[in-house]
A and B are shown apart, each in its own frame.
Chain A
Amino acid sequence: MILFAAAALPLHSAGKYVAGAYIVFVVMLLVYLTIMSIRTSRTERELAELREELALRRRQVSEPESQTEPEREAVGSK
């Protein structure tokens, strides 16, 4: 709305200074948010890697157990 209405604002010689002050703030905010989003996505990626690693370990633990079950049954039947 502000962008559409900007044409109606008295943007004469002072306009560039006012625009500059507000744009500097917006740019700084955007730079900060970009850096933070990069860091957050890195954390998410590492969390996903950790989940995969855990799932792999769980599978490795459960596989030997399932392999030993028939052997136990065989021992029981004797």
Chain B
Amino acid sequence: MQEEMKMIYLAVPLVCLIPAIVAGLFGRKIGRIGAHTVTILGVGLAFFLSCYVYMDVMDGNTFNGTVYVWGISGGFPFEVGFLIDSLTASMMVIVTFVSWMVHIYTIGYMHDDPGYQRFFSYISLFTFSMLMLVMSNNFLQLFFGWEAVGLVSYLLIGFWYTRDTAIYANLKAFLVNRVGDFGFLIGIAAIYATFGSVDYSAVFASAPSLVDETIEIIPGTSWNMMTFICIMLFIGAMGKSAQVPLHVWLPDSMEGPTPISALIHAATMVTAGIFMVARTSPLFELSETALSVVLVIGALTAFFMALLGLVQNDIKRVVAYSTLSQLGYMTVALGASGYAVAIFHLGTHAFFKALLFLGAGSVIIAMHHEQDMRKMGGLRKLMPWTYATAVIGSLALAGIPPFAGFFSKDLIIESVHASTIPGSGFAYVAVLAGVAITAFYSFRLLFMTFHGKPRMDEHTLHHVKESPWVVVVPLVLLAIPSVLAGFMFMEPMAFSNYFEGVIYVSEEHDVLGAIGSIYEGKTGFSLVMAFMLHGMVALPFWLAVGGILLAWLFYIKKPELPGKVVDSVKPLYNVLVNKYGFDDFNQTVFANGTVKIGKFMSEYGDRRLIDGFFVNGTARVVEAFSRFLKPLQSGLVYQYAFAMILGLLGLMTWFLRVAQG
């Protein structure tokens, strides 16, 4: 049985990898239909196998072991291994499901694109990478998946590689992720240095006994090793999960085709950081400092990125900023030690965010690739399916019961409220404010796009029609979990032993236990009802409703209001439009500064010193020697014999006179 399950575990990533290779290398031979058939079948199979694995894990069968030893160097094994538990299984189901929906949707969205096969190859490869990341049982393979995901996202953001903006965006994503990865790699190295292993189980088992280890980075100051490791790992998470200040790549990455925005920049890749922190909870729990850092960074992201969502006019960018903000919520949950809630929100968010992105994509198709919301409006009647699913997505995002987002977001807010970690007070305010803003901008999007009078030109309006079924079906399939996932999984994920032995929370940080005690004795439906009723009378719900009403006032009732408000707070508005100046700062200081240093080094360090003096200089000296020595071979035999005699004399002199003293 164990062996069979091992084969299934192995099959899940491979059925994604093999079609990716087939579609990538033989795309031209198998054609468009061939390419999408193999990849969709592969990922679909991966989804069903993941579900099977999930069921199996729910029956209590977990697995932790090596499947392949790639190499051993200096006694250090490089292994491919799987750790299959409730966390992994949940991630596998989420990843493969969203990816499968995106695959199907892509048939419609990329219909006319010349890079059709390449696209399918990339997204399958991406799914493979993400699966390797979540299924890993050691930090090294985690890093492999991490980098593979980064690579494929680079390829996908720059998918339309003839556009300058796309190239700029993918380079930016790649470079910013490098910063995070640098920290991550240091973190892994520190783990290896401290524990002598990169295996999760070995590291986590010995972590509590090494809690007092210290490290001297700057001589004379000693840092707690756990804090150091956790902060370094978290820097990695900040890059991948786009936390302030490494968030700058995510909005730009909307240059890629919409399906990958849904897949990579909403549902799966950016959640890698969240997943990683949850996975390493036994380490984070040992350092309150690190948790505090996580909490504050998350709160900053949640609040300030939400604000930026208010001023965007590009439909995809609004969704992108909402992603940033929601990732902030997940990070806040991690910081408050509510790892289970973070994963819960990760799951619900994956569904409704993919839904929103794909909905936005559906609108974009109908509008002939126009993405500016100011040129939309009134699409409600023309695209009923897209509209209905967008409403569900928006309600879920805004956190209105009984939609999925309500449960997970409310739990996060409650967790922060219950937390006593330094910074939790600030975080509580930030996430509360974020709720209202989120509700406002998500309904702003809904109202501007689907309600009011059509603002596009006659020609476009005339051609607007509901998208084909390959687009609509994934929307509907994603809408279902966006409604149901919340109350179906709240109790098992947050208030049961679902993550027992997987996620570790120390006694004093057990916020979920504290929340759970309010609902003591209630299970199943009554727990859900009690939670909803409690939520309805609490502040976050009314803030969300307030946000929605305000959006209605601004964009339906009195459309002239936004302009007036903007005029009255012009300086603030400009700050938001300029995204707090992060981009300008990075461009001026880091990008231009690096280019200047690089140019200097290239000219003086490389071209003059290394190339000019060392390399060519050496070559010239050698050549001169060569020319000097060549005539010694005169062709005259007595000179040759003389050379031999000289050699003999030389040896005799040296060894009989000089060496003898």
Question: Do these two chains interact?
Answer: no
Give chain A's interface residues, CB within 8 Å of chain B: none
